[in-house]
Amino acid sequence: MSTSSIIKTVNRPADSWQRQLSGARRSFSDLCTLLNLPASSFDAISELDKQFPLIVPEPYLSRIIKGDQRDPLLLQVLPQAEELVSTPGFSVDPLEEADASPVAGLIHKYHGRVLLVASSTCAIHCRYCFRRHFPYQENRLQRNQHQQALDYIKSKPDIHEVILSGGDPLTLSNAYLQWLVNAIKELPQITTLRIHTRLPIVIPNRVDAELLEILRPCTPRTVNSDHLNVVMVVHCNHPNEIDDDVEHALLQLKDAGITLLNQSVLLKEINDQADTLTTLSHRIFKAGVLPYYLHVLDAVQGAAHFDVPESVGIHIIAEMTQKLPGYLVPRLVRENPGATSKTTVTLITD
C-alpha cells in the first residue's frame, strides 16, 4: 500500500476516526473486562486470532449492553469455539471469487460492473464474514496495482459501474480515496461509483468533511450532466447499531447527494425475527437509507452457527411485507457461486 493510504494518527484528537480505527480493541480478555463478561479462559482464541483476529472499534463497542452475553451486537464480533468446527457444505471461498479475478484485486463476475478490492482491512471483524478466509495479503494492492486494475476497466467498454469493496474502502486515507475516485471519474464509460462499507455504522466519525467533499462533486447536479452517480451500500444488521452519531453521519452522506442503501445478513439469534428487522427498516430509513438486501448466510467455513434456514427467511419477509410499505422490505437473496447476479429467494405462494 502506498504511503498516502497509511492512516496517520499523530496529533489527532482521541475521537478522530483515525484514532478510533487504529485503537480498535483486539484483545479477547480486554473485551470481556470492558463488557463485564465472565473472564473465563478461551482455549480457541489463539487459533482464532491466527485465522481471523478479533477487531472491535470503540463506537461500536459502546452500543453493546454490558454483562449481556446474548447481546446481538456482541454476538457479531465475539470469537466462538464453533468457528473451528468444520461443516460439510461450507468452504473457505464460498463464492468462488478466486476464479473471477482477471487481475489482482479485481473481481469481474457480474455483467456491467466490477468489484475493486480497494483496501484489505476492515474496521471491525464480523465473525460471519464470507471473506474471512480471503487472501488479503495477496490482494493488498499498491497504487501501481490499483492502476493496473483501472487499466483493465478502461479496456472494457461494457463496464459501467465500479464497486469499491474490501475489506472496507473507507479504511483508506482521504488522500488515497481522492486519487482513486478521481481516476475512476476519468474512465469515460463509468456512470456509477458504488462503495460497500460498514464504517459509517461502526465508526460514524469516518464521515468527515473531507470525505463528503471527495464524494460530493461526483453526484449528478443537472440534467444530462456527466457526473458520476454515487451509491453507498452500508451494512447494518440490527437496530441497536444505529445511535444518534450513526444517524447524523448517514444524514450527512444523504445531504451530499449520495444514494444510500443497506444490506444485512440474516443471522441466527441476532436478527432472525420479523420484529427486529422491521424496527431496523424504520430506523435506517429515518437515517435516510433504504433497505436493499437481506442476505442468506454465505456458506463460509467457521460461520455455520450463524446460519438461518432459507424457509425462516421467507417467513420473516412475508411477515415484514404485512407490516411495512414495500420500499422498506429488503429483498431476500443468496449468492450462488458462478451466477451472474444475486438470486432472489422466492416467496411461498401456497
Q: Which stretch binds ligand SF4 (CB under 6 A): 79-87, 120-128, 220-228, 335-343?
A: 120-128
* Cell 470481556 sits on residue: 32
User: Nearest approach, Cβ of 159 to ligand SF4 (angstroms)?
Assistant: 22
Cβ proximity to ligand SF4: between 53 and 338 the closer is: 53
At position 132, the amino acid (one-letter code) is R
Cβ proximity to ligand SF4: between 168 and 190 the closer is: 168
Cβ proximity to ligand SF4: between 122 and 215 the closer is: 122
Q: Given candidates 108, 131, 194, 334, which one binds ligand SF4 under the rule CB under 6 A?
A: 131
User: Nearest approach, Cβ of 42 to ligand SF4 (angstroms)?
Assistant: 20
User: Nearest approach, Cβ of 128 to ligand SF4 (angstroms)?
Assistant: 7
Q: Does 95 interact with ligand SF4 (rule: CB under 6 A)?
A: no
Cα distances from 337 to residues 185, 291, 299, in angstroms, run 30, 24, 10
Sheet with 331-334, strands from edge to edge, namely: 106-110, 113-117, 161-165, 192-197, 229-235, 259-265, 290-295, 331-334, 343-344
Q: Does 126 interact with ligand SF4 (rule: CB under 6 A)?
A: yes
Cβ proximity to ligand SF4: between 241 and 324 the closer is: 241
User: Nearest approach, Cβ of 120 to ligand SF4 (angstroms)?
Assistant: 10
* CA–CA gap between residue 196 and residue 231 (Å, rounded): 9
DSSP string, 205-262: GGS-HHHHHHHGGGS--STT--PPEEEEEEE--SGGG--HHHHHHHHHHHHTT-EEEE
User: Nearest approach, Cβ of 169 to ligand SF4 (angstroms)?
Assistant: 10
Q: Are 203 and 21 in contact (CB under 8 A)?
A: yes
Cβ proximity to ligand SF4: between 190 and 236 the closer is: 236
From the list 280, 331, 307, 337, the residue with the least C-alpha distance to 128 is: 307
Q: Given candidates 125, 146, 206, 283, which one binds ligand SF4 under the rule CB under 6 A?
A: 125
From the list 281, 296, 258, the residue with the least C-alpha distance to 330 is: 281
The contact mask relative to ligand SF4 for 197-216 (x = CB under 6 A, - = no) is -x------------------
User: Nearest approach, Cβ of 105 to ligand SF4 (angstroms)?
Assistant: 14
User: Nearest approach, Cβ of 125 to ligand SF4 (angstroms)?
Assistant: 5
The contact mask relative to ligand SF4 for 158-177 (x = CB under 6 A, - = no) is --------x-x---------
User: Nearest approach, Cβ of 245 to ligand SF4 (angstroms)?
Assistant: 18
Strands (E), 43-160: 106-110, 113-117
* CA–CA gap between residue 87 and residue 108 (Å, rounded): 28
* CA–CA gap between residue 175 and residue 5 (Å, rounded): 7
Q: Does 106 interact with ligand SF4 (rule: CB under 6 A)?
A: no
* Strands 161-165 vs 290-295: parallel, antiparallel or unpaired: unpaired
Using CB under 6 A as the criterion, which residues of the chain lie in contact with ligand SF4 when the complex forms?
122, 124-126, 129, 131, 166, 168, 198, 235
